[in-house]
Amino acid sequence: MHSDVIVVIVVATALMFDFTNGFHDTANVVATSISTRAMPPRVAVGYASVLNFVGAFISLQVAATVANDVVQPDLITPLIVFGGLIGAIAWNLITWYFGLPSSSSHALIGGLIGSAFAANGADAILGEGVVGKVMIPAIVAPILAFVVGGLGILIVYRIVGHQRPGLVNAGFRAGQVLSGGLLALAHGTNDAQKTMGVITLALVANGTISQEHFHVPSWVVISAASAIALGTYVGGWRIIKTMGSRIHKMDTAQGFAAQGSGAAVILASSHVGFPLSTTHTITGAVIGSGAAKRLSAVRWGVAGNIVVAWVLTLPAAASIGALTYGVTRIFGTGALGPVVVSVAILGGSAVMFARRAARGPTVTAPEAG
Amino acid sequence: MALLAEVVNGHDLLSVVWASLLAGLGLTGAYAFAILGGARAVDLSRSGRSAEAVIFGVLCALALAVVAAAVVYGIVIMVNK
């Protein structure tokens, strides 16, 4: 009975993480389209939301990999998963508060690492997986996307530089609808499945699903797809603003070059079996498309803050995950610990939203135009 | 360094770099050619130079076909991941 209550709390927390994931990462998909007025804000997030939902059903391969590669799966308990999820949610909310695009996947992995470390020590961490699947791609993604986005915009300017702006702008706006759609699909495929993987892991740890017959139940797929789609539709407007206009003012060609080359880098790297973070890739491409036009066009202070947030993501989410696990264990191994922490995190989130709301729009779409 | 060499496959990394460059620059370049073809075709047909307009129209169609193929291939990659 106790363990079933904990699993219900873990599933609810995982869906909450999935919501923050969509909410936090909407900017990756829609920021450039909104900034260049390829789509009105509400239409852009609605479009991304639908395609995120569809993307979650495309493949289930990623769902099995999240926890298996970075922590020892046989040492995982629902309480460890809970600690990891709280670490990820808290870091997503902190970076949203400051309007910084950071990787939700890295936050989830960091949270799980911290929670597993607090429970079982260093033996629970798969160092090879952390370096190979998290740290190296985190360095490669933004640099590669920066170069491809930068070269991409130079090629675009070279080809269409002498044409009438009216037709060219209309063409690139249409192209952004296409490239944004690809990004939203890729995001749904990657990120909703991470939540599916975590929920399934908790179900396996609880004995609800046998480890020999590992599969993702249909209700997990549908609920995870719905949570990320809903979060995407709500839209993290603060991060959208950072990505769309605070790094640099984009023209339509830059918007297309950033989105198109970002989508191409994500899919090409998936194709060769080296998946890269959507957030890191798109941010790198956005900065690259600005820097290639003129180095001074990029607000390097904003870019620097983003990089600092990336560096801090893993240790910060891990610390919060470890702390959460420690706090829940004060209340024993029952459901009381997760209940107390859930109430605390809900209260903290409400305070953050209220403080942000007092300063301006938080979850509402900005006026178009 | 030994751990790095063990976990990072240099061949995979190189494949990511060239595949990303090819896909990223190929997609943006092809779409730019589609816009160039479309814009020039409109301008030329307005000024009565139909033969040249057709050539640019064909360039636009071919470039759009490349982009469409890239998008379909991207979706295939996602499905088979």
The string of pLDDT tens digits covering residues B24-72 is 999 999 999 999 999 999 999 999 898 999 999 999 999 999 999 998 9
Q: Is residue B53 part of a domain?
A: yes
3-state secondary structure of A71: strand
Name the residue facing A128 among B7, B24, B27 (closest C-beta): B7
Q: Is residue B14 part of a domain?
A: no
Domains contained in chain B, number: 1
Find, in chain A, the residue whose alpha carbon is nearest to that of B24: A261
Residue A277 DSSP class:
-
pLDDT at residue A364, as a whole number? 46
pLDDT at residue A62, as a whole number? 53
Distance, C-alpha B51 to centroid of its chain = 26
Q: Rounded CA gap, A11 and A23, in Å?
A: 18
Contact A152 B31 (CB under 8 A): no
Q: Is residue B33 part of a domain?
A: yes
Virtual torsion, Cα A174, A179, A185, A189, nearest 10 deg: 180
Name the residue facing B20 among A55, A132, A265 (closest C-beta): A265
**How much is the pTM?**
0.86
Buried b (16+ CB within 10 A) or exposed e, B7-37: bbeeeebebbbebbbebbbbbbbbbbbbbbb
Range of the domain at B53: 25-80
Helices (H) and strands (E) counted in chain B, each on its own, are: 3, 0
Residue A63 DSSP class:
G
Virtual torsion, Cα A221, A224, A227, A228, nearest 10 deg: -100
pLDDT at residue A347, as a whole number? 87
Contact A260 B17 (CB under 8 A): no
Contact B81 A178 (CB under 8 A): no
Taking a C-beta distance cutoff of 8 angstroms, is the pair A263, A56 a contact?
Answer: no
Name the residue facing B32 among A145, A159, A263 (closest C-beta): A159
Find, in chain A, the residue whose alpha carbon is nearest to that of B60: A171
Full pLDDT tens readout for chain A, 369 residues: 567 888 899 999 999 999 998 888 888 888 888 888 889 988 999 999 999 898 888 765 555 556 577 888 788 888 898 999 999 999 998 998 888 888 888 899 899 999 999 999 998 898 888 888 788 888 888 999 999 999 999 999 999 988 888 889 999 999 999 988 888 888 888 788 888 888 888 888 788 887 777 788 899 999 999 999 998 888 777 788 888 888 888 899 999 999 988 888 888 887 776 778 888 999 999 999 999 988 888 999 999 999 999 999 999 999 999 999 999 999 888 888 888 988 888 888 888 778 877 776 554 455 443
B chain contacts of residue A194, beta-carbon cutoff 8 Å: none
Locus of tokens 């092809």 = B30
pLDDT at residue A323, as a whole number? 95
Q: Is residue B17 part of a domain?
A: no
C-alpha dihedral sign at A111, A281, A190, B18? negative
Contact B81 A270 (CB under 8 A): yes
pLDDT at residue B80, as a whole number? 77
pLDDT at residue A159, as a whole number? 94
Q: Rounded CA gap, A235 and A145, in Å?
A: 24
pLDDT at residue B81, as a whole number? 67
How far apart are the CA of A335 and the nearest CA of chain B, in angstroms? 37
Mutate one of A274, A278, A281, A282 to test the B interface: name it (highest B CB count within 10 A). A274
CA-atom Rg of chain A in angstroms: 20
Q: Rounded CA gap, A210 and A271, in Å?
A: 31
ipTM, 2 decimals?
0.90
Q: Is residue B15 part of a domain?
A: no
Name the residue facing A148 among B24, B35, B71 (closest C-beta): B24
Name the residue facing A260 among B31, B39, B40 (closest C-beta): B31
Q: Establish if B74 touches chain A: CB-CB under 8 angstroms.
A: yes
